[in-house]
Structure 1
Amino acid sequence: MASSVSDAYRECRALAQSHYENFPVASHLLPRRMRDPVAAVYVFARRADDLADEGTKSDETRLRALDAMATDLDATAAGRPPDDALWRALADAIPRYSLPLSPFHDLLSAFRQDVTQHRFNTFDDLRDYARRSADPVGRLLLHLADQPTPGNISDSDRICTGLQLINFLQDLHQDFIERDRLYIPRADLLAFGVTEQRLRSGPGDADIDALLAHQIERAGAWLYAGRHLPGRLPGRFGLEIRLIVRGGWRIVERLRATKPGAPFARPRLGPADRAWIARGLLPGAVLGGVQPPREVAASESVE
């Protein structure tokens, strides 16, 4: 039980740091005033994700638990938080930073979808999922930084969707082979003449390589399209987002190099990659000098 708001944030920070993934909860670049509420946002997303994915509970039980989180969120926003560190922290953060509730509810909507839907017919369907599973995090960060302008939100959505698509490609083995979830649209499989059985069989061939190259370039296009956002963000927060964008782009480059012939390979970043990412702290264009994705010219997927 958290006895105070500071205790609640302390618990959220500990949880966030113990489960750190692709989320800026452990970065010392973040302005100090943002670290506690960012940790609370992460714990909210992590808890909902775990309810959707972890353990052996039935789908019906998972959906009820996610619905209960939505009820607790609304109660927290109304000043009646449950006696739990997460909700006590959000009871402070939501009014303090004027956080909208829609991004939180969008996240819960995406996690409900995770429980019941494991395939997507078109890229528009997949984009709608990313709009609710990834974009809300960026929007909440912009509100915490007091930078939620329309232009910033648009570029943040592009970056977050790009990072989500990149993550799908990194986790192809875990999602498809281990969990029977496929985040490549059926329309793309059909267009490239690849069946799920053929994709699952292991080593790639020319058609699978072309299919995955298309996914990589499209993911990169979304990330690349949002590249001007960090330059509009002030101070340490802007530097943090620069590193996130460069880190995502470095994975795009590694995916380009590793996926041909090895569809389930997961790229690893080494010291040289981390040094390249860190150069984003220097003045200059965030992605200056990189090979742009082919999808940018066609504008097939970037709004």
Structure 2
Amino acid sequence: MSGVVATASNRLAGAPAGLLEPETRPTLAEARQWCKALADSHYENFHVATTLLPARLRPHFHAVYAFCRVSDDLGDEVPDRALASELLRTWREMLVECYEEPAASRHPVYVALRESIVACDLPMEPFSNLIRAFDQDQVKTRFESLAELEAYSADSANPVGRLVLMLCGYRDPELFALSDETCTGLQLANFWQDVQEDLLERDRVYLPQDRMAAHGVTEATLRAGVSTPEYTALLKEMVADGRARLMRGVPLIDRVDRELAGTLRLFSAGGLAILRGIERIGYRTLEHRPEVSRGEKLALLLGAALGKVGIHQGSRGLR
């Protein structure tokens, strides 16, 4: 971001340099370009997924993604958790400003997001819930049960799916519920592939404590980096749970328009591909990070693209 000076007057002082506010308010075009560049540089599949959508919607998706990305980075890329919490509080104040005093917003995320808020009538709650989840990450690093993880996902993952639906004009509570299943399942799939990394690099354990105890798995097991029979049995159970959640969300694909269906299919299929990757390595995610093969990625993208051009894919082939 050009024109940024890391001084005490910068409201995000202490954040990674690329996240700071510019000295002057960017134009809408500049803000949208900043958000697009951030999205394109961080998540290849997101870039592909947005190309499946009508051009008029892409800037809104980029703005929402940029909000999520910066929020996540403020929580995860600042080593001092007290400072991270302070930055997230400031980020929330900037969100409120975006709704109540939009002319005062200088951060490109909020300049771009304001246009999406107005054009798509987006409420503040999903954005606020996401910030709350990232703030919670600074103090809560263990989860007693799957129910606790579900409550966490209600703030950390599900708002994203609901925002995607709202960007495309959908407000049906039944569709929101299906989206919640997909988003929670996708988040859990990502947790199960990164168990040791989350522990060693972030001191976070997302495996439910009660299920760990039931299987005889301890944090010492995780730190040792050897997938014991007890650990693989636990992961097998967690993978089955994640697949069930993703499959419960699959009917959403058949209840939206073709262009959005392609994007949703890509994300659901991606989550299921992660789970298949875990299965392929015998659930031994302490030694190996499961990967989605190049062939699988191409198949996922082809399936989504075929849906866009009218060769109906719907929910077929997902498992």
Say whether the fold is shared (TM-score over 0.5). yes
Matched letter for residue 65 of structure 1 = L
Match of 1:286 in 2: 315
- Opposite residue 283 of structure 1, the aligned amino acid is H
2:293 equivalent to 1:270: yes
> CA-to-partner distance for each residue in 1:103-127, whole Å, 9 max, x for gaps?
0011011001111111111111111
Q: Could you say if the C-alpha distance between residues 22 and 285 of structure 1 is closer, same or farther in structure 2, counting changes exceeding 3 Å?
A: closer
Asked whether the 8 Å contact 1:118–1:181 carries over to 2, the reply is yes
| Structure 1, 10-19 or 251-260: larger mean CA deviation | 251-260
Structure 2: gaps spanning 5 or more residues: 1-23
Pairs within 5 Å for 1:1-303: 1-20=24-43, 23=46, 27-57=50-80, 59-80=81-102, 81-277=104-300, 278-280=302-304, 281=306, 282-288=311-317, 290=319
Taking the aligned partners of 1:214 and 1:106, their CA distance within structure 2 comes to 29
Q: 1:264 to 1:101 in 2, by over 3 A?
A: farther
Instruction: Give the distance between the partners of 1:84 and 1:25, measured in 2 at CA.
Output: 26
Q: How many residues align?
A: 289
The structure-2 alpha-carbon separation of the partners of 1:22 and 1:192, relative to structure 1 and needing over 3 Å to count, comes to farther
Gaps of 5+ in 1: 291-303
Q: What is the DSSP-based 3-state SS (H/G/I as helix, E as strand, rest coil) of the residue aligned with 1:239?
A: helix
Q: CA deviation at 1:269?
A: 1.9
Aligned counterparts of 1:70 and 1:142: Cα–Cα separation in 2: 23
CA RMSD, Structure 1 to Structure 2 (Å): 1.9
| Structure 1 pair 262–3 and aligned structure 2 pair: CA distance change class (3 A) | closer
Contact 1:25 1:35 in 2 (8 A): no
Offset, 1:83: 1.4
Q: Residues 195 and 285 of structure 2 are in contact (CA less than 8 Å); yes or no, is this contact kept in structure 1?
A: no
Deviations 1:132-166 (A, max 9, x none): 10001001111100012111101100000000000
Corresponding letter in the other structure for 1:143: M
Moved more, 66-75 or 258-267: 258-267
Say if 1:209 and 1:263, in contact at 8 Å, map to a contact too: no
TM-score, length basis structure 1: 0.89
Change in CA separation of 1:47 and 1:279 when aligned onto 2, cut-off 3 Å: closer
Could you tell me which amino acid in structure 1 is paired with residue 100 of structure 2? A
Contact 1:118 1:180 in 2 (8 A): yes
Give the AA of the match of 1:62: A
State how far apart, in whole Å, the 2-side matches of 1:157 and 1:10 are.
30
